[in-house]
C-alpha cells in the first residue's frame, strides 16, 4: 500500500524520525501515518490537506454562509434556487408495488418491488458519473426497468438530497441549484462567504430583503477547494510524533487489543491518548463550533 492521498506527512519523513533506512517495514509505517492523520482530523474536526469539497449550507443570518472546511484555496461555484436537471420514471409503474428514487449526496438509489414481490435496488454513483448527462445515460443503458430524461446538464454532486420518492403516479423530478451569478465576497482564511448583490427578480435593490441568500433547508450549494497545499510545520510535527509513537508501540507489543490495522493491532483509546499528548501542537487547527 501507499500513504493516503491526504496524509499529513510522508513515509520518507517518518523513516527519518524513527531511523529506518530500508523498506522492510514500509507497510507498517504507512499505516501509522494514515492512522495518525485520521486521529488528528477527528480531533480538529477538519479535513486539513487541500482537496475538493461539495456541500450544501444553511446561511448564517441572511447574507453569510460558512464552509465546513478552511482555509479556502478557490471557489468553483456558489449556487441556489431549484431547477430540474432530469426526471426518472419506472417502466413498470402501473404494476409496481413500490418504485422510489432517492439521492443521498453520493449516489442515486432506484428501488423497486414488482407485482410478483421481487425487490431490486440499483445505484448510480455521483463520483463515477460526475454529470447528470452521464447519470441519465447510465440509467437508460444499464438499469433495467427504469428510464431517465435529461432536462439540463448539471454536476451530479450538486443534486439536492432526498429520500425515497415514489414514481408510480408521476416522474421523480431531480433538481439542482442553478443560480450562481450573484456577487459575493470571501474570507478565504476562515471560509466565510458574504453575498453582496443577488439577482432575485421582483425585489428592489434598496429593499431590506434584497442581496440575501434564500431561506429554506440547506439552500446554498458551494463547490470549493480548501485545506493546506503545504502542511504547516507544527501540524506535520504532530503527525510525525503520533505516528512514531504508534510504530514504537507496535514494535514493543504486537498484541494491542481492539481495532485491526493490516497485520497489526492498535488500541483506539491509545491513539486518542497520543493525540491529546500533542494537543498543544493542534490547538490552532481545532475547529470552534
- Residue-wise pLDDT tens digits, 245-268: 889 887 765 444 444 445 445 554
- Residue scoring higher pLDDT (160 or 245): 160
Mean pLDDT score of the chain, rounded to an integer?
89
Mapped onto helix, strand or coil, the DSSP state of residue 26 is: helix
- Residue-wise pLDDT tens digits, 15-30: 999 999 999 999 999 9
pLDDT, residue 248, reads 87
Q: Which of 84-98, 219-233, 267-281 has the lowest mean pLDDT?
A: 267-281
Residue whose C-alpha is closest to residue 61's, from 209, 167, 247: 209
Using the predicted structure, report yes or no on whether residue 271 has a pLDDT greater than 60: yes
Measured between alpha carbons, how far is 113 from 121 in angstroms, rounded to an integer? 9
Stated pTM of the model: 0.84
In 224-249, which positions are buried (b, 16+ CB within 10 angstroms) versus exposed (e)?
A: bebbeeebeeebbbbbbbbbbbbbeb
Q: Which of 88-102, 207-221, 249-263 has the lowest mean pLDDT?
A: 249-263
At 67, the pLDDT band (50, 70, 90 cuts) reads: very high
The pLDDT of 118-136, averaged and rounded, is: 97
pLDDT, residue 267, reads 52
At 280, the pLDDT band (50, 70, 90 cuts) reads: confident
Q: Which of 35-49, 128-142, 237-251, 262-276 has the lowest mean pLDDT?
A: 262-276
pLDDT, residue 259, reads 44
Q: Which helix (H) or strand (E) holds 91?
A: none
Mapped onto helix, strand or coil, the DSSP state of residue 250 is: helix
- Residue scoring higher pLDDT (113 or 1): 113
Amino acid at each position: 500500500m501507499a500513504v493516503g492521498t491526504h496524509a499529513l506527512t510522508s513515509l520518507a519523513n517518518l523513516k527519518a524520525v524513527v531511523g529506518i533506512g530500508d523498506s522492510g517495514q514500509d507497510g507498517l509505517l504507512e499505516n501509522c501515518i494514515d492512522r495518525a492523520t485520521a486521529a488528528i482530523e477527528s480531533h480538529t474536526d477538519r479535513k486539513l490537506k487541500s482537496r475538493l469539497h461539495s456541500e450544501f449550507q444553511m446561511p448564517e443570518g441572511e447574507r453569510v454562509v460558512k464552509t465546513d472546511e478552511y482555509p479556502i484555496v478557490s471557489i468553483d461555484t456558489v449556487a441556489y434556487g431549484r431547477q430540474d436537471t432530469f426526471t426518472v420514471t419506472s417502466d413498470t409503474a402501473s404494476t409496481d408495488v413500490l418504485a422510489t428514487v432517492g439521492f443521498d449526496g453520493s449516489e442515486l438509489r432506484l428501488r423497486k418491488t414488482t407485482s410478483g414481490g421481487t425487490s431490486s435496488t440499483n445505484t448510480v454513483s455521483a463520483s463515477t458519473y460526475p454529470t447528470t448527462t452521464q447519470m441519465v445515460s447510465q440509467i437508460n443503458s444499464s438499469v433495467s426497468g427504469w428510464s431517465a430524461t435529461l432536462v439540463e446538464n448539471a454536476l451530479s454532486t450538486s443534486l439536492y438530497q432526498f429520500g425515497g420518492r415514489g414514481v408510480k403516479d408521476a416522474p421523480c423530478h431531480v433538481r439542482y441549484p442553478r443560480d450562481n451569478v450573484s456577487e459575493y465576497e470571501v474570507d478565504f482564511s476562515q471560509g466565510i462567504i458574504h453575498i453582496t448583490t443577488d439577482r432575485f427578480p421582483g425585489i428592489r435593490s434598496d429593499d431590506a430583503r434584497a442581496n440575501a441568500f434564500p431561506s429554506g433547508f440547506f439552500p446554498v450549494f458551494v463547490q470549493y477547494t480548501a485545506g493546506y497545499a503545504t502542511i504547516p510545520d507544527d501540524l506535520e510535527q504532530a503527525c510525525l510524533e503520533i505516528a512514531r509513537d504508534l510504530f514504537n508501540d507496535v514494535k514493543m507489543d504486537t498484541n494491542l487489543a481492539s481495532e485491526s490495522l493490516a497485520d497489526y493491532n492498535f488500541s483506539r483509546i491509545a491513539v486518542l491518548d497520543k493525540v491529546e499528548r500533542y494537543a498543544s501542537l493542534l490547538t490552532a487547527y481545532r475547529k470552534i463550533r
